[in-house]
């Protein structure tokens, strides 16, 4: 993830009767309906020193699960006041009081949005179900009494972050994992700082996704789907880690079965997307692993024929691992590609996983297998087609 580069506001023109405005960095964290300010620092005038200063502050703040915003003000107190006000205003939690607190700059180019610059990505933990909410309420860390009100607040918070142009990540706040995390770290689950520490941990290793303005119901569904995918991935990894899978069925190398299965899965995924053409693509794989159904999908996009395919790498890794587990164990399964382009019906291509290879079913078999399964882009005029031939030719050389 990349933090938005802090924008430098243009030099401010000063009215003789007004005190000089300086740039301040305000360090703190959004908490409940307010903003907790930890400290306010003058930023250095030299651009390079300033940049380094802000990076160090951001790193320190992130360690404490906070963030840094820069603002022009005449005093540290005013800087703090402005950040609090702006945080509340953009979160929709306070009335717009601009008439009571006019921007003190005379530069017409500096709007309130310009005054507040996000320097770090935002991470927001989301409790997705009423049951999880009740379980976490026992720790008395939530300033809300019902899940619906809580979700409204969370949605406002997410929108406030994206409104500032901040890269925003939603993470699943799971009560069981929270309890385990606190037990393992020997920290008090009821302490106010524990939630922030868990969120930081979950953002690195737990179920997470990028927030891009979707409504809260859609977001919670996406988090549940991602949690299932994460579980499938963990299961696929355990399968691939099994020592007794035997030699690679293609080359006989006794130590290469997992590695070659992963290479093959990745090559197949790339081959599918290479020929998918322009549009938005979703590749889903599903395998039967010792009676358990493992499923994962990856989103990709190619905007023009001359641009490369953009792919979500985190998802691609998960899809490849699950497909590789199917290849390595010679289990049954399948892969579908759903392609959406403007002004055309969605196209669904299907492949069957058999004996470690993706084979081509008939269009009818694709419809029977997938036509009744709901997809994100389900429409009545979706076309079902057999997947194209993925047998490696000169385009896709293999290690064999
Ligand atoms: Zn091999």
Q: What is the pTM of this model?
A: 0.63
Give residue 172's Cα distance to chain centre: 11
- Number of other CB atoms surrounding residue 205 within 10 Å: 11
Rounded to the nearest 10 degrees, the angle between the axes of helix 313-329 and helix 257-274 is: 130
> Would residue 277 be called left, alpha or beta, if left means φ above 0 and alpha means ψ between -120 and 50 degrees?
left
- In 3D, which of 131, 206, 217 has the Cα closest to residue 169? 206
H-helix segments, the chain: 47-63, 76-90, 112-115, 130-137, 147-163, 175-185, 192-205, 216-241, 257-274, 313-329, 363-366
In angstroms, rounded to a whole number, what is the distance separating the alpha carbons of residues 222 and 299? 13
Ligand 1 centroid – CA 255 distance (Å)? 9
Distance 318 CA to ligand 1 centre (A): 21
Instruction: Spell 43-54 as b/e; 16+ CB within 10 A means b.
Output: beeeeeebeebb
The pLDDT of residue 311 = 93
Tell me, in angstroms, the distance from the centre of ligand 1 to residue 96's CA: 64
CA distance 365 to 344: 22
Partners of 123 in the β-ladder:
169
Nearest to 320 by CA among 232, 386, 214: 232
Residue 173: per-residue pLDDT? 94
Q: Which of 323, 222, 226 is nearest to 270 (CA)?
A: 323
Q: What are phi and psi of 264, to 5 degrees?
A: -65, -40
Q: How far is the CA of 355 from the centre of ligand 1 (A)?
A: 14
* pLDDT means over runs of 10, the chain (400 residues): 40 50 81 70 82 77 70 83 70 37 39 52 92 91 88 91 86 94 92 86 89 94 94 91 78 86 94 93 93 92 91 92 94 93 90 92 76 55 85 52
CA of 400 to the centre of ligand 1 (A): 7
Q: Ligand 1 centroid vs 315 CA: distance in angstroms?
A: 24
Give the distance, in angstroms, between the CA of residue 155 and the centroid of all CA atoms in the same chain. 15
Please tell me the predicted confidence (pLDDT) of residue 1: 38
Gap from CA of 16 to ligand 1 centroid (Å): 77
What three-state secondary structure class fits 32?
Answer: coil
Distance 267 CA to ligand 1 centre (A): 13
What is the distance in A from the centroid of ligand 1 to the CA of 399?
A: 7
């Amino acid at each position: 993830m990349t933090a938005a580069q802090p924008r430098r506001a243009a030099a401010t023109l000063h009215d003789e009767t007004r005190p000089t405005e300086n740039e301040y960095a305000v360090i703190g964290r959004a908490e409940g309906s307010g903003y907790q300010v930890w400290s306010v620092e003058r930023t250095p005038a030299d651009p390079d020193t300033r940049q380094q200063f802000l990076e160090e502050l951001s790193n320190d703040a992130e360690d404490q699960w906070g963030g840094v915003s820069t603002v022009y003000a005449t005093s540290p107190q005013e800087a703090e006041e402005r950040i609090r006000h702006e945080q509340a205003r953009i979160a929709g939690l306070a009335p717009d009081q601009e008439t009571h607190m006019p921007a003190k700059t005379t530069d017409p180019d500096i709007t309130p949005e310009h005054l507040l610059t996000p320097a770090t990505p935002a991470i927001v933990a989301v409790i997705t179900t009423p049951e999880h909410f009740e379980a976490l309420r026992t720790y008395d860390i939530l300033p809300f009494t019902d899940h619906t009100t809580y979700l409204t607040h969370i949605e406002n918070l997410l929108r406030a972050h994206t409104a500032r142009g901040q890269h925003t990540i939603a993470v699943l706040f799971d009560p069981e994992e929270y309890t385990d995390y606190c037990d393992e770290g020997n920290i008090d689950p009821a302490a106010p700082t524990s939630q922030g520490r868990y969120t930081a941990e979950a953002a690195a290793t737990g179920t997470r996704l990028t927030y891009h303005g979707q409504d809260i119901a859609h977001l919670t569904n996406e988090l549940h789907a991602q949690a299932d995918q994460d579980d499938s991935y963990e299961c696929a990894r355990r399968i691939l880690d099994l020592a007794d899978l035997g030699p690679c069925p293609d080359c006989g190398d006794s130590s290469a079965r997992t590695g070659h299965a992963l290479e093959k899965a990745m090559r197949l995924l790339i081959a599918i997307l290479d020929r998918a053409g322009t549009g938005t693509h979703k590749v889903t794989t599903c395998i039967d692993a010792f009676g358990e159904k493992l499923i994962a999908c990856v989103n990709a996009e190619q905007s023009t024929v001359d641009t490369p395919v953009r792919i979500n790498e985190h998802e691609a890794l998960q899809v490849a691992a699950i497909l590789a587990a199917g290849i390595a164990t010679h289990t049954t399964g399948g892969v579908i590609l759903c392609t959406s382009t403007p002004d055309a019906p969605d196209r669904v291509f299907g492949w069957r996983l058999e004996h470690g290879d993706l084979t081509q079913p008939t269009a009818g078999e694709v419809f029977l297998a997938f036509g009744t399964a709901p997809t994100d882009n389900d429409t009545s005029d979706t076309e079902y087609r057999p997947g194209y031939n993925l047998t490696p030719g000169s385009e896709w050389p293999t290690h064999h």
